[in-house]
Amino acid sequence: MPILGGGAKCGACEKTVYHAEEIQCNGRSFHKTCFYCMACRKGLDSTTVAAHESEIYCKTCYGKKYGPKGIGYGQGAGTLSTDTGEHLGIVPQDVKPQCPTANTGSSKFASKFGGSEKCPRCGKSVYAAEKVMGGGLPWHKTCFRCALCGKSLESTNVTDKDGEIYCKMCYAKNFGPKRMGYGATVNLESKQ
């Protein structure tokens, strides 16, 4: 309780909290600017806060630190994360060693910005801003063309064979079935 007219003390910074800037949680007062998760530092509000004793967390960090552990105890989108929770004091169990990638000579810059992947058409590095996936391989937007006719491709009209990409028309003509009605040309002789 404040003495001599001062406000309550902030639960995070221990400074005086005045009524206009006060947020209350678990009987404690906080400045609006001090009301953030103690683990990830994300700003909180009344719908995202989870309190544990004198600590406040976002619901995701609270679940990782104090929630149930093990298979089948997912926390929504948090289960898709590769975060092990080490910054919360959680010691990971069953950590498998990472296998080295095939491209061990790539620089830190290249691996961080996606430059380690090579375009199958030109052989140069493919960065995230210009990357298009086709046939399970990364391509430059400018290289993402049919190998036969050179037509620019999209995800809706691309087909692949033996590591090369084709438009649907070229693929059908060269690799599709060859009979009447399947794109085969028929010469009709005119009778005179």
Q: Name the residue with higher pLDDT: 163 or 83.
A: 163
pLDDT of 83 reads: 58
Contact by Cβ (8 Å): 138, 132? yes
83-118 tens-digit pLDDT: 556 666 655 555 444 444 444 444 555 555 544 688
Q: Name the residue with higher pLDDT: 5 or 146.
A: 146
pTM of the model: 0.37
137-156 tens-digit pLDDT: 888 888 989 988 988 888 78
Q: Average the pLDDT over each of 71-80, 129-138, 163-172 and give the range with the smallest value.
A: 71-80
Our measurement of the distance from residue 4's CA atom to the centroid of its chain's CA atoms, rounded to an integer in Å, reads: 53
Contact by Cβ (8 Å): 119, 133? no
Average pLDDT over residues 121-130: 86
